[in-house]
Each structure stands twice: as structure tokens, then as C-alpha cells.
Amino acid sequence: MTKYDAIRYDLENISNIITSYFDINKDNLFKSNKEEIVEARYCLIYILCSKYKDVDIAKVTGLSKSVVNKIRNIVGRNNKNRSFYIELNNIKALCI
């Protein structure tokens, strides 16, 4: 199993958890800009960033490295949206 296979595996599993948690369509996870879907996407990328490099996540997801980096940095340092962080922590608990 290559590192990209491992990322794809985690991406699939975490995506399933997140789409179920937010009750959204998995096909829209990287396409829609609705607030709920963007939050789900940010949760997904942030969780993946705790395990993999930005460049590797970008290669697997199709997002640019700068977008992955931006998501990691925004989520990592911004505590203004308390409800988002509660959801993020709930999802992280489900992913363990």
C-alpha cells in the first residue's frame, strides 16, 4: 500500500463519517460552496492534515496545496466559531 492509497483509504472513511454527520451528499463535498458543506470539507481536510502532508492531501483530493494549507491554518488558529469546533471535535471522536 502506497502513502497515497493510505490517504485515499482515510479520505473515504472520514468522508463517510462526515457526510453522515452533516447529512450531506458525498458527491457535493468538494463541489458545493454551501456553508454546511464547506464546514464539512474543512473538517475533513483538517483531520487529514493531522496525519498527512498538505502536498499529499492536495494530490489525492484535487485541491491545490495552497488551499489545503489555508484550511489547516484557518481551522488551526481561529476559535471564533465555537459551534464549528464542537462539531469538529465530535467528528474527530467518531474517526478514532
Mean pLDDT by 10 residues, the chain (96 residues): 92 94 92 91 93 95 95 79 81 84
Q: Which range marks the domain in which residue 89 is found?
A: 3-95
pLDDT score of 95: 84
Q: What is the CATH number of the domain that holds 30?
A: 1.10.1750.10
Quote the number of domains for the chain.
1
pLDDT score of 13: 95
Residue whose grid cell is 464542537:
86
The Cα–Cα gap between 74 and 70 comes to 6
Whether the Cβ atoms of residue 47 and residue 72 lie closer than 8 Å to each other: no
Residue 48's nearest CA partner among 19, 24, 76, 72 is 72
pLDDT score of 86: 82
pLDDT score of 75: 85
pLDDT score of 78: 66
Whether the Cβ atoms of residue 69 and residue 21 lie closer than 8 Å to each other: no
pTM of the model: 0.88
Half-sphere exposure of 91 (CA within 13 A, CB side): 27
Whether the Cβ atoms of residue 46 and residue 88 lie closer than 8 Å to each other: yes
Strand, helix or coil for residue 76: helix
DSSP letter, residue 51: T
